[in-house]
Amino acid sequence: MNKIRTELLLCGGTGCHSTGSIKVRDALKNELDKQGLGKEIKIVETGCNGFCAVGPVMLVQPEGIFYQKLAEKDVPELVEEHFLKGRPVKRLFYKESASKEMIPQMHDIPFFAHQELRTMRNKGIIDPEVIDDYIARDGYFGAAKALTEMTPQQIIEEMKISGLRGRGGAGFPTGMKWDFASKSPGNVKYVLCNADEGDPGAFMDRSILEADPHAVLEGMIIAAKAINATKGYIYARTEYPLAIKRLEIAIAQAKEYGFLGDDILGTGFSFDIEIYQGAGAFVCGEETALMRSIEGKRGMPRPRPPFPAHKGLWEKPTILNNVETLANVAQIILKGGKWYSSIGTETSKGTKVFAISGDVNNIGLVEVPMGTPLRTLIYDVGGGIPDKKKFKAVQLGGPSGGCIPEYLLDTLVDYEEIAKVGAIMGSGGVIVMDESTCMVDMARFFMDFIQDESCGKCTPCREGTKRLLELLEKICDGRGELEDIDILEELSVTIKEASLCGLGQTAPNPVLSTLRYFKDEYYAHIIDKKCPAKRCVALLKFEVDPDKCKKCGLCFKACPTEAIVWKKKEVAYINKEKCVECLTCFSKCKFDAIN
Amino acid sequence: MAKLSIQDLKKIKENAAKGISLRQEQGRIKVTVHMGTCGIAAGAREVMSTLVEEIAQADRQDIQVVASSCMGMCSSEPNVTVQVEAEEPIIYQKMTANKMRQVFKRHILLGEVQTDFALAKM
Ligand SMILES: Cc1cc2nc3c(=O)[nH]c(=O)nc-3n(C[C@H](O)[C@H](O)[C@H](O)COP(=O)(O)O)c2cc1C
Ligand code: SF4
Ligand code: SF4
Ligand code: SF4
Ligand code: FES
Ligand code: FES
């Protein structure tokens, strides 16, 4: 008998763990027992809720009240006031950054209000370590349907109708990929799940695995039936211990229930899944390198064709899908491809999960329908730019993506539309940048990452990205010459065309897209020897402009080395002997008085 | 454990769905127990426990129980408000475990307002 009246859905994702949700959980347990509420009120530890930036977060159901930034010390008050006496604790509510308005209910918070949850439908609702919770939300009914009522071809047809495209970056139609592998001859085939997630700043795959691991397993089971595979591997990076732990639990539970193993649901179909832990090299996310890595060899890409659908892991027909892609499969089978394609645009169906970060108020993980304008994503869901600063650009698609300037913010989230303006959907990383970002420096940052991650197999990628990086460093250092811009452009085109794998083929994108929209910043660095955003240290004077200085003293208070001399009603002055060029004063001065 | 059949899967779902019902849709019926300091002193905790037990026994997932703060009517505590979807909320006063049982069985399950205990319609 269920005597629970209230459930506390406390986030137990990696983000909230690191901000203290385990301590909050233990304190809650204690306090509830102390007040005699332990039998009426239940704590459920969920996976990532998406709003990690304000974690630890907790949703009180059925009231729908959302608490943020919980700490152990808040617990006695919370239990006594809200759970015993029914007076929700206002100071722990979400505060809107612009209006400072307090919003008690989760579904009224703009960050959540614009979302449409499909891939992440179970996030924050189920306990990821309890298989029955997943089943309660229709879990494994998609697999049951695929296994008992559908032929492989029918499954593939349904996937094609859904219009689902791979969420790992390239956006290849999932149904078509399965079709190729299903038609490949051979009685040993593999289904692989790409949980490498190498993009810096991206964490959607990790969150899905932590919040809803069974959804990924179920997607793999259905894929296996579609191509007649007997074995699956999940390639996950070792840096994701919680995701791996929850996957292990999920696999064990699925085996116990007989959703994995021999003769699944008595249908005669057998399929098993193993986790393979990768060491976390960016290039190992590339499909052929990933397969090499599972084979125990060094993870290096190889030329295609042959495509993995014909010769993949151990030369057998193989499909590789991204975590987010697979998390959608069971619902497509259960509700139909038409249901899935009912939202989205002409070429991009369904929803997409984005990780929003950078200079934006609401940092976190969100799922919106394809076709949502970038402006809605950044301003309504993301809550806009903090500190009254101006928007400058949004970088989409991680290190192989591109940036989009203000005037193109009405671009829709759609594979083709985003590609048209020089970026890519990629895995869904969205980095918002305000006016204090230097676009040349940004290109340099990504090139530094890419150059480190090149596997070195082909020269244009290995040497070319190094040269690009050197040129960008030269410009940031104030040694740039006009012809460097031409060299950057030519080199970029060559690297794109002559590289073997996707890493090299997309590596120059950050350079090309900043040249496309922010060439004037390159010129400012090269001709005027100035960094308009005041980020490139070599081009700054570290001097206070006495005409602009309003004598406020903010720089003085912020300087870590006491390099700033300032007295009330006096203009500030920088002592260069003591200055360590940390740029703190530049970001603190509201009057743009430091050069 | 033995292999599951689809029938077993359906059964697991039915049971498990009850377990997580609070997390999804809001209940059709909302029962609010007013738990101010004086309400608790007057026995609101016992009323609440009785209510929760009755709901469990009746195996109903569409009834939402909420604790709320006092209504400012100390003399009539413990107070309980019953709101059935689309109907006017009824406030009951001076509740006890026994009265709560009666209100649950008669009003909540059968729809008969127990005017004897009612304080007012809101
Ligand atoms: C350098 C490089 C890194 C990649 N990293 C990932 C990754 O971390 N995760 C991922 O799912 N796909 C990654 N991909 C894309 C995969 O190669 C592959 O296209 C994808 O996993 C296929 O799944 P999908 O069709 O479901 O998107 C990467 C590709 C390249 C070229
Ligand atoms: S393009 Fe770069 S990462 Fe890809 S195989 Fe060539 S050297 Fe390696
Ligand atoms: S750059 Fe840093 S160290 Fe130098 S004056 Fe400014 S705050 Fe101080
Ligand atoms: S923060 Fe800017 S305006 Fe204020 S004292 Fe420093 S230089 Fe002057
Ligand atoms: S980990 Fe808690 S909201 Fe993301
Ligand atoms: S404390 Fe409940 S009416 Fe006063």
DSSP state of A139: T
| Alpha-carbon span A563 to A539, nearest angstrom | 19
Q: Do A135 and B12 touch (CB under 8 A)?
A: yes
Q: How far is the CA of B108 from the centre of ligand 6 (A)?
A: 25
The band of B120, judged by pLDDT with boundaries at 50, 70 and 90, is low
Residue from A77, A135, A212, A263 whose CB has the most chain B CBs within 10 Å, to mutate: A135
> Cβ–Cβ of A136/B13 closer than 8 Å?
yes
Residues of A in contact with B1 (CB under 8 A): 256-258
Strands A41-46 and A6-11: parallel
Minimum distance, in Å, between the CA of residue A3 and any CA atom of chain B: 5
pLDDT at B25 over 70: no
Residue to mutate among B8, B22, B31, B80, with most A CBs inside 10 A, is B22
* Ligand 6 neighbours by CB, cut-off 6 Å: B 36-39, 70-74, 77
Quick one: pLDDT at residue B26? 62
Return the pLDDT at B2.
Answer: 59
Query: CA A120 to CA A136: how far, in whole Å?
Result: 15
The answer to whether B20 touches A61, Cβ cutoff 8 Å, is: no
pLDDT of residue A556: 95
Average pLDDT, chain B: 85
> Is the separation of the CB atoms in A144 and A118 below 8 Å?
no
Find the DSSP H helices in B1-114.
6-19, 37-41, 44-58, 97-102, 109-110
For a pLDDT cut of 70, what percent of chain A falls above it?
100
Q: What was the pLDDT predicted at B121?
A: 56
A225 touches A257 (CB < 8 A)? no
**What pLDDT score was predicted for residue B4?**
81
> From CA B50, how far away is CA A512, in angstroms rounded?
69
A276 and A236 Cβ atoms separated by less than 8 Å: yes
- DSSP, collapsed to helix, strand or coil, labels residue A48 as coil
Q: What are the backbone dihedrals phi and psi of residue B111, each rounded to the nearest 5 degrees, phi first?
A: 85, 15
Using a pLDDT cut of 90, give the percent of chain A over it. 90
Residue ranges around ligand 1 (CB below 6 Å): A 166-170, 172, 194, 196-198, 282-283, 285-287, 320-322, 325, 501-503
Asked whether the beta carbons of residue A61 and residue B22 sit closer than 8 angstroms, the reply is: yes
* Protein residues with CB under 6 Å of any ligand 2 atom: A 283, 301, 454-458, 461-462, 499-501, 503-504
Site to substitute for ligand 2 among A447, A458, A496, most atoms within 8 A of C-beta: A458
Of A48, A66, A69, best ligand 5 pocket probe by most atoms within 8 Å of the beta carbon:
A48
Q: What value does the mean pLDDT of chain A take?
A: 94
Chain A residues with beta carbon closer than 8 angstroms to that of B83: none
What is the predicted pLDDT for the residue at A294?
95
Q: What pLDDT was estimated at residue A82?
A: 93
Tens digits of residue pLDDT in A241-298: 999 999 999 999 999 999 999 999 999 999 999 999 988 789 999 999 999 999 999 9
For residue A21, CA distances in Å to A15, A44, A138, A154 come to 9, 12, 28, 44
Judging contacts by C-beta atoms under 8 Å, the chain B residues touching residue A36 are 45
Q: What confidence tier does A314 reach under pLDDT thresholds 50, 70, 90?
A: very high
Please give the pLDDT value at position B37. Answer: 81
Return the residue whose CA atom lies nearest to atom 6 of ligand 3.
Answer: A585
Residue with tokens 């209000």: A113
CA terminus-to-terminus distance, chain B: 53
CA of A432 to the centre of ligand 5 (A): 20
**Do the Cβ atoms of B32 and A138 come closer than 8 Å?**
no
CB contact under 8 A, B22 and A84: no
Q: Amino acid letter at A455?
A: C
Judged against a pLDDT cut of 80, whether residue A122 lies above it is answered with yes
At residue B75, the pLDDT reads 78
Element (H, E) at A354: strand A351-358
- What's the rounded Cα separation, in Å, for the pair A454 and A506? 12
- Give the range with max mean pLDDT: A78-87, A365-374, B3-12: A365-374
pLDDT at A1: 59
Confidence check: pLDDT of A226 > 90: yes
Name residue A413's amino acid.
V
- Per-residue pLDDT at B87: 84
Condensed to tens digits (0 to 9), the pLDDT of residues A539-577 reads 999 999 999 999 999 999 999 999 999 999 999 999 999
Which residue's alpha carbon is at the smallest distance from atom 4 of ligand 6? B74
pTM of the model: 0.91
Average pLDDT of span A157-161? 98
pLDDT of B17 reads 86
Sheet of A402-405, strand order: A364-369, A351-358, A429-434, A391-396, A402-405
* Interchain proximity B3–A258, CB inside 8 Å: yes
Residue A217 pLDDT greater than 80, yes or no: yes
CA A404 – CA A510 distance, rounded (Å): 10
> In this model, does residue A510 exceed pLDDT 90?
yes
Q: Nearest chain A Cα to B22, which residue?
A: A62
pLDDT for the residue A199: 85
Predicted confidence (pLDDT) per residue in A337-357, tens digit: 999 999 999 999 999 999 999
Q: Is A4 in contact with A42 (CB distance < 8 Å)?
A: yes
Q: Average pLDDT in the A524-549 region?
A: 94
Q: How much is the pLDDT for A394?
A: 96
Confidence of residue A478 (pLDDT cuts 50, 70, 90): very high
For residue A112, the model assigns a pLDDT of 93
Alpha carbon distance A560, A581 (integer Å): 10
Q: Which of B7, B9, B53, B108 to mutate to test the interface with A (most CBs of A within 10 A)?
A: B9
